Chains A and B, each alone.
Chain A
């Protein structure tokens, strides 16, 4: 048993810290720190900085232009980025489509698409969920019908995150209607400029524009845009779901969240004393901190499994369930700590003289509401339990 990093890993951590210290723009980290909304320019800027260093596609092997990091190195990088308030790397091209093309894509697709993901030429978004196919993804109805050298797509996708910035979308579409629903799904790449596509914003619970719905009406896509074989889409979708799960616990974000929560509870006063001296409130923080300490080790244990035995198994669903609940508990405690000062809608007026609190408090309640998504997206926590029940507990 040895829970510490090797000297090489510690050296790597120092290198990451030095890089972030030097290259992460202060305007960006401040925006992230206060929970503000990043725009496309912000995200492209950070991607370009990482790409220049060769650290953008953290999960890619070197042959495709990734850094070829081990699971532990990837974890260290993610933890340090969270600590430094670096913007999240947008996952759709880099963490989702990239590995899919590397595993299932043709040589031409790899050569054409992967470099454009790295240099920011393309911004990909995800066309998975539909109004009638959420947790039951296999029931999706968007049709792709073969017509000569094309597929003709009709249907609707939803929850398309950051689709407003995208020029490309990867979709799961139905290419066969008989037999088991899982066996009639294909994975296809679509240019968003193609005639017949309309993207509409969905306004979220806290008022933000993060997701969209995408409508397809007689959209003609070259058959060469198919990834893998026709009707192999479900295999690809499952691969995507089990891949890239090392950061699913969001341990780095939660560690940062704990530090900020404690700072907040020391700053605000109740009964003339810092809130953190209230034993009821302190106990709530402490219980969450204990769960987080355990989570850190659970995460490392699964990284160790990934590092020594290849890919981690279905037990990573544990990380998703526990990690999201911890994060949501932090958001809940932070919102409570601020009390009524959490209520005003975030606006420019809330900074400066009229500020009820510090800049990082302005988005407090919005963050709480927005992060209710954590236990819903990426396979809801109930779906994770279904997966674990079957694959791990064999029930």
Chain B
């Protein structure tokens, strides 16, 4: 049993954390995260030079990581720094390309921006609900809220060919892409396809898609842990310094006990994220990842709502950092399967 990070991962975590603190400070983030392209493209290149994307792919795919704990190391740091860069889309696409055994040198060095177009308006989480079709080399359908899709050059699209779910590559230039910003920062896009030319990447992609989504969910869990740690730090600092009735408000038991409850849930969230990272590639990967995303969904919303409440009015303002952490913490639940969706997956194993 060993709960410490390897030396390599600790170095990556430290350098990415320091990089984000230095260059992606809150004021800069607040500016770029809400204006197209909804992140800083110069800093994107620098992050890629740091090796952030290489850490997400295994060695035989050209990266130097790809294990569960590599993914959590990167995303926990991204969460701590509230980074709006489109790393999640890159992770999903990289995982699909790894499954396909396809070249991803351009993705990993950051020169070609990929996004994974999986969810649809009426199929936000479940692969069974996908209606986009592939026929005769062409794709038709609409993909919705594609993370990082607003400035992606290549889309990897999940679509049905007959009864089989495959993954197909579409150039952004060949399709209609409507990009937009997200309420919690960062960008996404709608992808409209109507007889759009596409090339096959994976013919039968069920397993590859599930795996990519599990990695994405794990990444979101780790991002949430980083976000919760940062939010908690801001909150505790506020409780220690904000005075009302002549004392620091942290002296009030009504707030103390709630702060402890947040700390408890954050530790539980950290624990289950560690567990999920350790199960990537194992038989129970899907179940444990679902458990993790369920707990994260609950914990993240609790931390967000309580941090706002305990701050009071100041957390309702755009100027306060805690507001932006709070938004990201709540909206993370709706990415790649919310707490109810994940709980249903846990329950699915009960009947037998």
- Residues on A close to B: CB < 8 A? 1-6, 9, 72, 262, 265, 274, 276-277, 279, 282-283, 285-287, 289-291, 293-298, 300-301, 303-304, 307, 315, 318, 321-322, 382, 384-386, 388-389, 392-395
Assembly CA distance A187 to B2 (angstroms): 39
Assembly CA distance A301 to B273 (angstroms): 13
Of the residues B240, B264, B288, B346, contact of A321 by C-beta under 8 Å: B264
* Contacting pair A287 B343 (CB below 8 A): yes
Additional 20 contacts, C-beta under 8 A, given A295-B271, A318-B263:
A1-B274, A2-B278, A279-B344, A285-B347, A290-B272, A290-B291, A297-B271, A297-B275, A298-B268, A304-B2, A322-B264, A322-B268, A389-B256, A389-B259, A392-B263, A393-B236, A393-B263, A394-B236, A395-B240, A395-B251
Between-chain CB contacts (< 8 Å), 28 pairs: A1-B3, A1-B4, A1-B274, A2-B2, A4-B1, A9-B1, A72-B1, A265-B350, A274-B351, A279-B344, A282-B350, A287-B294, A287-B343, A290-B294, A293-B272, A293-B275, A294-B268, A294-B275, A294-B295, A297-B272, A298-B268, A301-B3, A321-B264, A389-B260, A393-B250, A393-B260, A395-B240, A395-B256
Q: Can you list, as one digit per residue, whether each of B1-40 has a CB less than 8 Å from chain A (1) or not (0)? A: 1111110000000000000000000000000000000000
Assembly CA distance A8 to B69 (angstroms): 25
* Contacting pair B291 A276 (CB below 8 A): no
* Contacting pair A385 B343 (CB below 8 A): no
Q: Which residues, 301 to 346 on B, are CB-close (under 8 Å) to A? A: 343-344, 346
Chain A residues, Cβ within 8 Å of B291: 289-290, 293-294
A297 to B, closest residue via Cβ: B271
* Contacting pair B288 A293 (CB below 8 A): yes
* Contacting pair A393 B350 (CB below 8 A): no
B352 to A, closest residue via Cβ: A266
Chain A residues, Cβ within 8 Å of B207: none
Assembly CA distance A286 to B291 (angstroms): 9
Instruction: Classify the secondary structure of B's interface with A.
Output: helix
B269 beta carbon closer than 8 Å to chain A: yes
B243 beta carbon closer than 8 Å to chain A: no
A282 to B, closest residue via Cβ: B347
Of the residues B255, B268, B350, contact of A286 by C-beta under 8 Å: B350
Chain A residues, Cβ within 8 Å of B255: 395
B239 beta carbon closer than 8 Å to chain A: yes
Chain B residues, Cβ within 8 Å of A384: 260
B239 to A, closest residue via Cβ: A395
- Residues on B close to A: CB < 8 A? 1-6, 69, 236, 239-240, 248, 250-251, 253, 255-257, 259-261, 263-264, 267-269, 271-272, 274-275, 277-278, 288, 291, 294-295, 343-344, 346-347, 350-351
Assembly CA distance A349 to B111 (angstroms): 78
Assembly CA distance A307 to B2 (angstroms): 10
Given the known inter-chain contacts A6-B1, A301-B3, please indicate yes or no for A385 contacting B272, CB distance below 8 A. no
* Contacting pair A276 B278 (CB below 8 A): no
* Contacting pair B260 A388 (CB below 8 A): yes
* Contacting pair A5 B1 (CB below 8 A): yes
A304 to B, closest residue via Cβ: B3
Assembly CA distance A149 to B227 (angstroms): 62
B299 to A, closest residue via Cβ: A294
A395 to B, closest residue via Cβ: B250
Chain A residues, Cβ within 8 Å of B5: 1
CB distance from B127 to the nearest CB of A (A): 21
CB distance from A282 to the nearest CB of B (A): 4
Assembly CA distance A355 to B277 (angstroms): 47
What are the 7 closest A-B residue pairs judged by CB atoms, nearest first? A297-B271, A395-B250, A389-B256, A294-B272, A294-B268, A286-B346, A298-B271
Of the residues B277, B278, B343, contact of A290 by C-beta under 8 Å: B343
Assembly CA distance A294 to B296 (angstroms): 11
Chain A residues, Cβ within 8 Å of B259: 389, 393, 395
* Contacting pair B1 A389 (CB below 8 A): no
CB distance from B208 to the nearest CB of A (A): 25
* Contacting pair A385 B260 (CB below 8 A): yes
Given the known inter-chain contacts A294-B272, A295-B271, please indicate yes or no for A285 contacting B256, CB distance below 8 A. no
Chain B residues, Cβ within 8 Å of A1: 2-6, 69, 274, 277-278
Please indicate which of the listed interface residues A9, A279, A385 has the most CB atoms of chain B within 10 Å of its own CB. A385
CB distance from B222 to the nearest CB of A (A): 12
B274 to A, closest residue via Cβ: A297
Assembly CA distance A393 to B346 (angstroms): 33
B250 to A, closest residue via Cβ: A395
